[in-house]
Amino acid sequence: MKNLLFLLISFSLFHSTLSAQILHVPSEYTTIQAGMDAASPGDTVLVADGTYTGEGNLYLSFGGKAIVVKSANGSENCIIDCVTGSPIIAFYLDSGESKNSVIDGFTIRNGDYVIYLLSSSPTIKNNILINSIGGVYCGSFSKPVIENNIITDNYHNGIRCYKSAPTIRNNKVQDNKWSGIRVSESHPLIVNNLISENSGVWGGGIELIESSATIVDNVISNNLAIYNGGGIYAWKDTSQIINNTIVYNSSAIGGAIYASQRSDQTFKNNIIAFSNRYIPTGGTKIITWIGSWTSALYHYNTSGFLIGITFWERFHNIGTSGNIIISVPGIADTSIYIQSMEVYSLGFYCKIGGGSYTSTIKTRIYFENDSLIYSSSFEASYGGTKYRTLSSLGISHVGGIISLKGDTSKISCCDFYHNEDGNYFSSTVGNDLFDISGPNENIIADPMFNDGSFKLSSNSPCIDKGLLDTTGLNLPDFDINGTQRIIDGDQNGSLIIDIGAYEFDPTMVGVKDIASTPSNFNLEQNYPNPFNPSTLIKYQIPHGATVTLKLFDVLVRKVKVLVDESKNAGKYRLEFNSK
């Protein structure tokens, strides 16, 4: 069967009903809130270029109405500045708003969590959320759609979820200082995002606390955690982590992923590679000790002399070893041999029962090669009680995944490569380093990225090496680059998903993007044309927009709507099969 395609593509930023009105700010209404107050359900409040701040432009409320609040010419031209002497919120939604309540196309800066949701489920798209305490706070019972935003350079989380279930897709979450996305007691869908160069104490990229997230098709790269989980940190978590590229993340333990006690996660089709140890600027590879609570007791006699030490070990005695040397004047040095992969603490409690004796207790913590890591001292005086507590991450492994559960049965079709110290560790079983190659079709191989990006090259071992059955994986129709999932990458006649966030397209070998963001709208001629039975269609958009791609026959009769959804700026391609 020969087919000749006539393609019409329209780029629209919003849809409205015949009765809907457009209310202009500031030409008709002097403030954004005045326009919102005057709007009826279905209306659009269109905000002209400029910077908006002060009364009527902050703490904006939808009042439960299904209206669209959007910029006239995109986020780079329309700014809501929350600076008022103290951080403040730009949009506050707490009246049960639905996905038809839309915040579209603003730069919002210098605020608290600049979009704050409680029991509200709006659509938040095409915005730049920058230089604030945080980007979006999703509070109790909220189910927003957060898409096509740039959330960057905020002092806390880019997105914070608490007892909520947002859909977070097609965003760039970058350079946030306290985890890119923090998820607590929530069930989000996190799909097709770039989560990179964020930092935090735990979970530089994503922090998961008592949650059950679905994390699919994301690039999680170059994030840093001081303690655990450079890419992802999980505590009592049951998330599904599917088809992600998790690379070049760093932390003290679990460079890519750290799954702590009672976490029971599923890992499928992920690339976990190039994880590194976090090294403080000018510091050592071992994290210095910090304050915690007492786990060691010094006993003094009535003359004020040390007569004994009691220790309570509150950590796993598994892992690499080190020594603590404790010295007291007149007492021989006491060397304590420790082993741990887990966070642990050692505390010192001393009470002098008589006399005027003052003792200086010195602690020196040594690595196994005798290089000094930490030294401290304190005094205990007559009649006094003195506490001194140190806690440490121990002398430990980095690894691709650190799991306290020690269960590898839920890790399948993943590629592990070049993770510092090793690929998979568990601190709850005798053999802490696992060989995970072979079982469940995991591989240990260089993913062979293309041209410095995280896309797969034509000879990557990850092509067509994912799960044969993708039922229940919640995969998007397109990968993070807009390439259709699933493609026969090795062209052997079988459609098998690739490992990682990018699907390899054999028709694009040798083709490079000239720029990451196109400068204009363009629909290319489909190829081949005529075709039987399939053809490849490529298009590009210079900024976020609602894209409608319709297929017509030779009589200009509509055959099918191929695309009708919001898209980020970028280049896209899809394959149409007439069968």
Two structure tokens written together for 436: 């995970």
Please tell me the distance from the alpha carbon of residue 256 to that of residue 248, in angstroms, as a whole number. 8
**List of residues 6+ apart from 403 with CB closer than 8 A:** 259, 263, 424, 425, 426
pLDDT tens across 73-102, in order?
A: 999 999 999 987 666 899 999 999 999 999
CA–CA distance from 478 to each of 131, 429, 487, 497, 508 (Å)?
Answer: 31, 40, 10, 12, 15
Please tell me the distance from the alpha carbon of residue 314 to that of residue 316, in angstroms, as a whole number. 7
- At 563 the pLDDT is 78
Return the HEC string of 137-152. Answer: EECCCCCCEEECCEEE
Tell me if 386 sits within 8 A of 334, measured CB to CB. no
For the sheet containing 276-277, what is the strand order? 199-202, 224-228, 250-251, 276-277
Please list, residue by residue across 102-128, b when 16 or more beta carbons sit within 10 angstroms of its beta carbon and e when fewer do: bbbbbbbbbbbbbbbbbebbbbbbbbb
**List of residues 6+ apart from 573 with CB closer than 8 A:** 482, 483, 484, 505, 508, 536, 537, 538, 539
Please tell me the distance from the alpha carbon of residue 157 to that of residue 180, in angstroms, as a whole number. 5
- Please confirm whether the linkage preceding 309 is cis (ω < 30° from 0): no
Two structure tokens written together for 118: 């409680």
Q: Which has the higher per-residue pLDDT, 166 or 538?
A: 166
Residue 341: pLDDT band (50, 70, 90) is very low
The yes-or-no verdict on residue 133 having pLDDT over 80 is yes
Residue type, 76: E
pLDDT tens across 198-222, in order?
A: 999 889 999 999 999 999 999 999 9
Please tell me the distance from the alpha carbon of residue 231 to that of residue 221, in angstroms, as a whole number. 7
**Of the candidates 88, 121, 123, the residue with the CA atom closest to the CA atom of residue 103:** 123
Residue 426: pLDDT band (50, 70, 90) is low
pLDDT tens across 282-316, in order?
A: 443 333 332 222 223 333 333 333 333 333 333 32
pLDDT tens across 464-510, in order?
A: 999 988 888 888 888 888 888 888 887 888 889 999 999 998 876 54
Residue 135: pLDDT band (50, 70, 90) is very high
